[in-house]
Amino acid sequence: QMQLAESGGASVQAGGSLRLSCTASRVSEFSYSEYCLGWFRQGSGKEREWVALIDTLNVNRVYADSVKGRFTISRDNVKRMSYLEMNNLEPEDTAMYYCAAKTGSCSFIARNYDYWGQGTQVTVPS
């Protein structure tokens, strides 16, 4: 069973940048390439929110309006990793960030994802 692990979270000043990584294990390169990958976040007292997704072909990347133009999702199937590059961070970006994977077509809906990491905390003080 595939496992996901996020890293890269930190406290950063508003306007700063961070790069989150998500490492997959217990999965072959071929199998990993067949998963749609997503990033979600959950702020304190809030529901889990979809942030970005990237399809299996590494072609289609879709972003929530709140992060469009500031965040970039990418994947490296050989390394079995995905990344979330976050620029111009705002206090509203403060949350626990999760990577997730699902088979089949991509989705904005968290419950449709099969595998989740434990999360990495991003804090942008106001």
Confidence at residue 21, expressed as pLDDT on a 0 to 100 scale: 98
Is the model's pLDDT at 121 over the cut of 90? yes
- Helix (H) / strand (E) containing 100: strand 95-102
Residue 9 backbone zone (phi > 0: left; psi -120 to 50: alpha; other: beta): beta
Could you report the per-residue pLDDT of 7-55, keeping only the tens digit for each?
999 999 999 999 999 999 999 988 999 999 999 999 999 999 999 999 9
The band of 59, judged by pLDDT with boundaries at 50, 70 and 90, is: confident
Confidence at residue 58, expressed as pLDDT on a 0 to 100 scale: 81
Is the model's pLDDT at 95 over the cut of 90? yes
Residue 85 CA to residue 2 CA, distance in Å, equals: 23
Q: Report yes or no: 95 and 124 within 8 Å, Cβ to Cβ.
A: no
Is the model's pLDDT at 57 over the cut of 90? no
